[in-house]
Structure 1
């Protein structure tokens, strides 16, 4: 009888262990509305896939407050919890994870990474690494310039800001120059590696370009209100590759990839890994047309002395 009781208890214990929810740790470079959308989209899609929070999965969240010196510490804290999977948000944080997370049995799914191949996170666009795959945010600058030509017929020169020390920004700049050449538009890139320098750098666009289009750059995206203030002062329409509803009256418009959808696509990959697929067998997700949104702000255009073109007066792009 004793051995039967012991077997029953062991079976019950094993059942309880199997029922324990999987821990997914979310590590982000910082708290920002766009980056938060990646995490929110991820969790929402996981719920759609059947992962009930508290029952099937639990989430942890750590961020480095946009301080590079804190990233190794954040990653150590995440690894110490021995999660079933890590969602790592932004290019720099994923690059640090490649070097800093020593337990390669913990799979890492990336989000908010423009080009994971150039960043050295995965070997190519057809495969993940042995322990990582995810959803890229590769921009479609061909579509962005088509959009700009509709909003600003006759646009010839476009200014943008970038951090030369970020692989994310380097990839963006290579892609935007290629697309600009095809569109017959000249891109004027101004480097900036410190947010405090943004007002002065934006000022250099005065009289030099027809519009400003912001790429997915961490140093710029965390300070868009500052860029918007200067752009309005020098009467240049400002467009962003990240949609920010609270700035819809200050910016002329957006041709933006959805950070929430990026998180959803990352969740699809996380689901496959949690169900047993190897990250190396999962190709990184490349954004499709439906992952981008186009908006035009009548108030933002009016703020720099422009109006919505007649051809767009009834467009679904118009912001109210």
Structure 2
């Protein structure tokens, strides 16, 4: 029978123990690895027509590697302009200590800033007008726990005016209807007045609380038979997207053959806006995704510059011609969409 030396036996046993320890170590390491962190995002859309911003935001997040149900969850709330409901939803997001709140538009952003102030919950806005609203300290240094994607309301208001002026060269009096007391209107008017005054154009403001009140004001203006208005121009505010209010404006424009411009919308009995200038809501939502990614990775919103959406121009060529005007070639060249 072969005899083994004691040293050989110990050497073999030591090798086996080493292999066993290595296997156990690998097993423990694989079992004890950190689990993938799941981020929770609360989303509040304050006007249903902005729902595209929310869906495109989530698409953008998916492209950045955030997979819903795996490493991120969304609590999406869509409300039709109801401040108390905004406040209740945002308060719940804060109490739930979500990792991020995404909000749109301006009014929701204001409420989110107020309710989240003093907490560790960051707020990301999109499609929000920031001029004169107190949402951020500045574009480059937003401050607090807020940053986002700016809606360039004053810039768009001036661009709408300039396009209207190009189409209606003899413009003297512009009627601007809007929701009475709506906070984002004044910064747009502040930008418009100096430009209009320099051209010798008079702005006629018509604030109203709803479609019925707007209709009554229009009838009062037309009581003498001639409202003495050369064009109707929309600014960014709720009546411009309210079907009842739009129908009133279109009926008034159609009856007196007053051209309408500023916001593109489906025609009402063959009469519609000559052009629209706005921000593509889906693009605004998608622009928010990289900002959200940075915030979730630990960057401070206070030092993340606000980004701005680009304007999107639509031209209703046939409507312009129907009213006896012409769309300059320079306008057609910069338009994103021309409907013929």
TM-score, normalised to structure 1's length?
Answer: 0.82
Give the Cα separation in 1 of the matches to 2:331 and 2:186: 37
> For structure 1, which segment, 178-187 or 150-159, has the greater mean C-alpha deviation from structure 2 after superposition?
178-187
| Native 8 Å contact 1:64 1:74 kept in 2 | no
Residue number among 320, 324, 332 corresponding to 1:307 in the alignment: 324
Gap change, CA 1:56 and 1:236, over 3 Å in 2: farther
Residue number among 273, 278, 299 corresponding to 2:300 in the alignment: 278
Q: What is the aligned partner in structure 1 of residue 12 from structure 2? A: none
Matches within 5 A, 1:139-218: 139=153, 140=155, 141-203=157-219, 204=221, 207-218=227-238
Q: What is the aligned partner in structure 2 of residue 252 from structure 1? A: 274
1:249 is displaced (CA, Å) by: 5.9
| Native 8 Å contact 1:145 1:183 kept in 2 | no
Q: What is the aligned partner in structure 2 of residue 123 from structure 1? A: 137
Q: How many residues align?
A: 306
| Native 8 Å contact 2:160 2:262 kept in 1 | no
| Native 8 Å contact 1:114 1:172 kept in 2 | no
Give the Cα separation in 2 of the matches to 1:273 and 1:263: 16
Give the Cα separation in 2 of the matches to 1:51 and 1:42: 11
- SS for the counterpart of 2:152 is coil
Q: What is the aligned partner in structure 2 of residue 232 from structure 1? A: 254
Give the Cα separation in 1 of the matches to 2:267 and 2:27: 61
Give the Cα separation in 1 of the matches to 2:266 and 2:69: 31
| Native 8 Å contact 2:277 2:311 kept in 1 | yes
Q: What is the aligned partner in structure 2 of residue 11 from structure 1? A: 32
| Native 8 Å contact 1:157 1:211 kept in 2 | yes
1:108 is displaced (CA, Å) by: 0.5
- SS for the counterpart of 1:45 is helix
1:192 is displaced (CA, Å) by: 1.6
Matches within 5 A, 1:18-57: 19-32=36-49, 35-57=50-72
Give the Cα separation in 1 of the matches to 2:200 and 2:297: 47
Gap change, CA 1:240 and 1:250, over 3 Å in 2: same
Two-structure CA RMSD over aligned residues (Å): 3.1
| Native 8 Å contact 1:25 1:59 kept in 2 | yes
TM-score, normalised to structure 2's length?
Answer: 0.78
> For structure 1, which segment, 273-282 or 48-57, has the greater mean C-alpha deviation from structure 2 after superposition?
48-57
Gap change, CA 1:39 and 1:158, over 3 Å in 2: same
Residue number among 294, 299, 312 corresponding to 2:313 in the alignment: 294
Give the Cα separation in 2 of the matches to 1:310 and 1:252: 9
* Larger Rg belongs to: 2
1:310 is displaced (CA, Å) by: 6.4
Give the Cα separation in 1 of the matches to 2:185 and 2:326: 31
Q: What is the aligned partner in structure 1 of residue 126 from structure 2? A: 111
Structure 2, unaligned stretches of length 5 or more? 1-20
Structure 1, unaligned stretches of length 5 or more? none
